Structure 1
Amino acid sequence: MEQRYPTPGPGTAHRRTRRLRVALLALAATGGLLLTACSAGQDSNTSSADRSNRTGGLPAPAGSAAAGEQRGQSPDDSPSADHLSTFALDVDTASYGYARRVLADGRLPDPSQVRPEEFVNSFRQDYDRPDGNGFSVTVDGARTDRASWSLVRVGLATRAADSGERPPAALTFVVDVSGSMGEPGRLDLAKKSLDTMTDRLGDDDSVALVTFSDEARTVLPMTRLGGHRGRVHDAVDDLETEDSTNLGAGVEKGYATATDGLREGATNRVVLISDGLANTGDTHADSILERVSRARRDHGITLFGVGVGSDYGDALMERLADKGDGHTAYVSGDDDARKVFVDQLPQNIELTARDAKAQVAFDPETVAEFHLVGYDDRKVADEDFRDDNVDGGEVGPGHTVTALYAVRTKPGADGHLATASVRWLDPKSRAPHEESGQLETDALHDDVWSAPSRFQVTAIAAYFADTLRTRASEADDVGSLPGNPGLGELGERAHAQAKKTEDQDVDQLAEAIDEASGMK
């Protein structure tokens, strides 16, 4: 069974300013209430183990190493533990994008909206890439300054995004035109983004446009762009805000329009652009998507959610994307829009893998306990790893997926540490494929901060998310992830890596850490 690591002792803590501590405490309490409410509202067939994984605050399962520690026993004396970790792949980045927006506005993000995997997956990685569809697997790690604890990085990469030939795309834009979208940086940014994306698509691609407020309507049926780009631009330019937000009606109409305009051999995708603040009609992601489940399952229509706005319904948009076989991104300004709709266009509309799942097997001879950082609502039962009827994640070209683990090795342990495997279905034939990678203890870097730059950036992003969402106590300045040095040192290391990598994304990470640290 996956273990929870103990909270670092006071001797490892750096001091926060009192105001930051109080702010985090208040937000953490709110996040705990939200998580409890969310857990209570899960489907009746959701197991208690799944719910405890999501809340993260329940006691460790009986028989596990962590449970042994709670009873005052040595973890090594407790019954044998399960050393498998299985999860569906996730390429969402909206949580990190929205956190940056909130921090820039002078606020701390709600801990319940901080998903560490989305922080980590927001940055470029240095993994080798495969030649064809599917994944390469990279496994590396580094020791922390906590005795016996290491950070282990499992990196999965798809082939490079090719701006040349690709299958045609049939995209149904579903645009929120409710009153809340009238705020600057919402509908105006959405219109600019759609115009830009329309110009970047090929002549053989197709576009439809659906809007929703109190009701939903199809503004433009599926239209080939060759010779008709002007029609799309005209339809986008005419968009104006109206009244309430019936997001359920918009999604339902969007899938119906996508089904009517379905193209064989094309990538059929709904692109939902909204602030996610549903207040009319059905506001529950599961029931919304249940009504369109046939379109998803029978026709393979996937969902790409793009969030906008200073107030953003993150939970609803994230749930829609997870259940809609897709992913989410957040756009706060022109730079983000260019990245999502131009630079990352191929990976956001094309698929190279369906129902992708990862499973990491830690060697019980060397590993005492481990903890997967994030992926709280993407956990998959270990026995379902090779069950291709169980939903996984959809991934496009040019994507990387990173899973970071905190791993405590046994005293004097040496040898094999972990085997990481990824399983996916070919997007056309649905034939299953697998790939694996290995890690030995002697391959661990001696220290996180002497590891390669991209590993350090991964660690900084994870530690930052950990600090923002931790249930901090008055004595603690850091989160519970082993080796977390606190915001002050994280900011310094982020600035150093931004200078070393000359990466604008890392520079923005450093700025976000500074903003969090400066809330005195």
Structure 2
Amino acid sequence: MQKYLFLILAAFISLEVQAQRSIEGTVKDNRSHSPLTGAVVALRTGNNTKAVTNAKGQFKLAVPTEKTMIYISCNGYLPDSVQLNPADKTLQLTLKRDLRLKEVKQRTIMDAKGDPAPMQEIVVTGYAPMQKQAITGALAGRASGVAIRGYRTLPPNTNYNTEDYSPINENIFHTAKDQPLSTFSIDVDRASYSNVRRYLNNGNLPPADAVRVEEMINYFDYEYKNPTGKDPVAIYADMASCPWALAHQLVRIALKGKTVEKESLPASNLVFLIDVSGSMSDPNKLPLVKQALKALVAQLREEDKVAIAVYAGAAGLVLPSTSGKDKTAILDALDKLEAGGSTAGGAGILLAYKTAAENLLKNGNNRVILATDGDFNVGVSSDGDLQRIIETEREKGIFLSVLGFGMGNYKDNKLELLADKGNGNYAYIDNFEEARRTFVTEFGGTLFTVAKDVKLQIEFNPKYVKSYRLVGYENRMLNNEDFNDDKKDAGDMGAGHTVTALYEIIPAGAGNEGQPAVDPLKYQQNLPVKTFSPEALTIKLRYKDPREAKSQLLTKVLNWQIQDITQTPEDFRMAAAVAGFGLLLRNSTHKGNASYEQVLSLAQNARGTDTEGYRAEFIQLVKKAQIIH
């Protein structure tokens, strides 16, 4: 009898299996066609079968053999449904972005299981001292201003995919005879590299406009010699064959800011401006902000001061300016912060600058440190308005450093602009190791400016240089007349900072090699060139003392030389490897013969001592990109 029961049961199981089939597919953004990670594909049947897309937007789902409906949802996108036919085996699904995301009102979203999950309204009131407890909405201690009112979602677990990057139009080749000058502002930011690392570690290639080649190059430490004279910046230059175009030359221009021992650094007046809106609730946002700023607090001295301002639906001061010796009070204030509400970033910036001005140190380092994902959506939020606020405040000697956090709704373009206009640096913190590097390993370079408004102008000698192209720095280009204009803002160098710029050179006498050219100028004078001059180019640099308005001029000459890239110092080869990697990630029209194998070969032979392991990590990222591409 038991044998027959077993056979009957097996038959039922067989019928059940036969009634199910497996279907695979992808879910993508309907406009960018980028894969959506964490999208939920679900059956609204009794067993409520679901699947969640992986880093490549892929899913696999067991479905009935008959016609059925499947439902697709993803945070930041409008939900959709599709009728599945019995013959369907694969699906290519797309979702439209929900353009209402920035509205501050109650709505329904889909949670991780694909079920409706209402937003939660939170209210935080201020003025009076508050109880010593964690306060949702971010204010603890003493709040300032009107009541903060907003909305908070349940902790998100999917990618909003509303990240914004400014378009990059790559620099082209210019003829040295017709356009002998190239002028640009330096850039010590390195946010692009750590952001690219985040994409690759998540199994995706970054968007082309997220790859700023100069920031990738300048992410790495280079052993340039410290300035020895009165100037806080030293210039170095050399050249070798270009690895991705062997008929061309690659010129390296290197700058080094003077190193200042921590004990000799001026006192700091810092204001932490922390975004505690609902979009910051992810583990890689506000919790990581706390870790990063705690690492900075550990470096503070008694003469340093810290205040903490926050913003969500409105702005509030949670910690007045406090001595660096009272680390317990500072850390307690950080620990109480929680995310919730809309994002009044403009109001927060105004409050932070006001607090910094009230505690201004005449001969000290006055700086606002903004930590956010950049998603400002309440009050002053336009790029133009924020830029004007920051430009006004920097004239008072208060600089702005920007720390970007998170993914999905990350606003890279806005944060880069704010740091650029605020005479500060911009870093993307994707993990605690990056936070440690920013605030522990490079404490002085992150916070203390040794030279501001640093501009470079290179004059090329047409006797040796037919045409040239600056690799990267597209959003740092200046007009030639801006070089001598002390009113023109430019980049700043921190203590110990290095800056590297690469030019790809087509030597005089070489063919056009597919490069577009302009017609000869009818009225251009053929100026005589010194017959025996070995000078390939002249580098001019202008900088200002952080407390001065008048710039100083430095010059450096580079003579023409021929050497293979393998004969150059390790730092040169490493910079060339990173540049080639950036060209590949961007799929640049100027990538020439660049390949992942070539990049790996250069980098593996340029590791040097690599005390912190950054170059070894780079090699692993190149290997990941090679697999994904």
Asked if TM exceeds 0.5, the reply is yes
Q: Which has the higher contact order (CA 8 A, sep 6+)?
A: 1
2:297 to 189, 198, 201: 198
- What is the match of residue 198 of structure 2? 101
Residues 261-285 of structure 1: per-residue CA shift (max 9 Å, x gap)? 2221111011011112233333333
Residues 136-175 of structure 1: per-residue CA shift (max 9 Å, x gap)? 1001111136354111010011112412211101111001
| 1:331 and 2:429 are equivalent in the alignment | yes
1:65-214 mapped onto 2 (5 Å cutoff): 65=175, 80-131=177-228, 132-144=230-242, 146=245, 148-214=247-313
Instruction: Report the residue type matching 1:440 in the other structure.
Output: N
- What is the match of residue 82 of structure 2? none
Higher mean Cα deviation, 404-413 or 250-259? 404-413
2:474 to 376, 381, 384: 376
Mapped contact 1:87–1:359 kept (Cα < 8 A): yes
- What is the match of residue 223 of structure 1? 322
- What is the match of residue 468 of structure 1? 585
- 1-structure distance, mates of 2:347, 2:379: 7
Q: Percent identity?
A: 32
Runs of 4+ in structure 1 off by over 6 angstroms are: 57-60
When residues 401 and 292 of structure 1 are mapped into structure 2, their CA distance, relative to the original with a 3 A threshold, is closer
- What is the match of residue 480 of structure 1? 590
When residues 55 and 502 of structure 1 are mapped into structure 2, their CA distance, relative to the original with a 3 A threshold, is closer
1:238-253 mapped onto 2 (5 Å cutoff): 238-253=336-351
When residues 489 and 500 of structure 1 are mapped into structure 2, their CA distance, relative to the original with a 3 A threshold, is farther
Instruction: Report the residue type matching 2:623 in the other structure.
Output: D
Residues 241-261 of structure 1: per-residue CA shift (max 9 Å, x gap)? 112222222222221221222
1:518 is paired with a residue of what secondary structure?
Answer: helix
- What is the match of residue 527 of structure 2? none
Instruction: Report the residue type matching 1:422 in the other structure.
Output: L
1:290-305 mapped onto 2 (5 Å cutoff): 290-297=388-395, 299-305=396-402
| 1:509 and 2:615 are equivalent in the alignment | no
1:439 offset after TM fit, Å? Answer: 1.2
Mapped contact 1:284–1:316 kept (Cα < 8 A): no
- What is the match of residue 349 of structure 1? 447
Mapped contact 2:213–2:579 kept (Cα < 8 A): yes
Instruction: Report the residue type matching 1:216 in the other structure.
Output: A
Residues 174-231 of structure 1: per-residue CA shift (max 9 Å, x gap)? 01111121111211111122122112111001111111112111112222223x3222
Mapped contact 1:137–1:421 kept (Cα < 8 A): no
| 1:455 and 2:572 are equivalent in the alignment | yes
- 1-structure distance, mates of 2:183, 2:171: 20
- What is the match of residue 50 of structure 1? none
Mapped contact 1:252–1:288 kept (Cα < 8 A): no
- 2-structure distance, mates of 1:366, 1:339: 41
- 1-structure distance, mates of 2:227, 2:622: 34
Mapped contact 2:302–2:324 kept (Cα < 8 A): yes
1:310 offset after TM fit, Å? Answer: 2.7
Mapped contact 1:138–1:155 kept (Cα < 8 A): yes
2:308 is paired with a residue of what secondary structure?
Answer: strand
When residues 432 and 84 of structure 1 are mapped into structure 2, their CA distance, relative to the original with a 3 A threshold, is same
When residues 114 and 58 of structure 1 are mapped into structure 2, their CA distance, relative to the original with a 3 A threshold, is closer
- 1-structure distance, mates of 2:468, 2:558: 15
1:418 to 537, 560, 571: 537
- 1-structure distance, mates of 2:399, 2:560: 40
1:59 offset after TM fit, Å? Answer: 8.9
| 1:56 and 2:174 are equivalent in the alignment | no
Mapped contact 2:584–2:594 kept (Cα < 8 A): no
1:497 is paired with a residue of what secondary structure?
Answer: coil
2:457 is paired with a residue of what secondary structure?
Answer: strand
Mapped contact 1:453–1:501 kept (Cα < 8 A): no
When residues 427 and 486 of structure 1 are mapped into structure 2, their CA distance, relative to the original with a 3 A threshold, is same
1:493 offset after TM fit, Å? Answer: 3.1
Q: Structure 1: any 5+ residue segments left out of the alignment?
A: 1-24, 28-52, 66-75, 472-478
* Number of equivalent positions: 443
- 2-structure distance, mates of 1:430, 1:59: 33
Residues 311-331 of structure 1: per-residue CA shift (max 9 Å, x gap)? 321111101111111110111
Q: Structure 2: any 5+ residue segments left out of the alignment?
A: 1-31, 35-165, 511-530
1:427 is paired with a residue of what secondary structure?
Answer: coil
Instruction: Report the residue type matching 1:203 in the other structure.
Output: E
Mapped contact 1:86–1:379 kept (Cα < 8 A): yes
- 2-structure distance, mates of 1:453, 1:286: 42
Instruction: Report the residue type matching 1:433 in the other structure.
Output: Q
- 2-structure distance, mates of 1:393, 1:58: 19
- 2-structure distance, mates of 1:112, 1:286: 21
- Which structure's residues are more often helix, by fraction? 1
Instruction: Report the residue type matching 2:600 in the other structure.
Output: G
What TM-score comes out, normalization by structure 1 length? 0.80
- 2-structure distance, mates of 1:236, 1:195: 8
Higher mean Cα deviation, 431-440 or 148-157? 431-440
- 2-structure distance, mates of 1:172, 1:133: 29
- 1-structure distance, mates of 2:384, 2:346: 10
RMSD value, Cα: 2.4
- 1-structure distance, mates of 2:619, 2:350: 40
- 2-structure distance, mates of 1:423, 1:330: 28
Residues 367-418 of structure 1: per-residue CA shift (max 9 Å, x gap)? 1100111111111111121211111112111101111111111138982111
1:427 offset after TM fit, Å? Answer: 1.5
- 2-structure distance, mates of 1:140, 1:119: 20
Instruction: Report the residue type matching 1:105 in the other structure.
Output: N
- 2-structure distance, mates of 1:133, 1:286: 35
Mapped contact 1:178–1:212 kept (Cα < 8 A): yes
- What is the match of residue 41 of structure 1? none
- What is the match of residue 598 of structure 2? 489
- 1-structure distance, mates of 2:284, 2:610: 30
- 1-structure distance, mates of 2:201, 2:260: 31
Higher mean Cα deviation, 81-90 or 484-493? 484-493
- 2-structure distance, mates of 1:26, 1:516: 19
Residues 90-119 of structure 1: per-residue CA shift (max 9 Å, x gap)? 100001111001110111111111111100
When residues 282 and 398 of structure 1 are mapped into structure 2, their CA distance, relative to the original with a 3 A threshold, is same
- What is the match of residue 13 of structure 2? none
1:502 offset after TM fit, Å? Answer: 5.8
Instruction: Report the residue type matching 1:110 in the other structure.
Output: P
When residues 183 and 382 of structure 1 are mapped into structure 2, their CA distance, relative to the original with a 3 A threshold, is same
2:376 is paired with a residue of what secondary structure?
Answer: coil
Instruction: Report the residue type matching 1:98 in the other structure.
Output: N
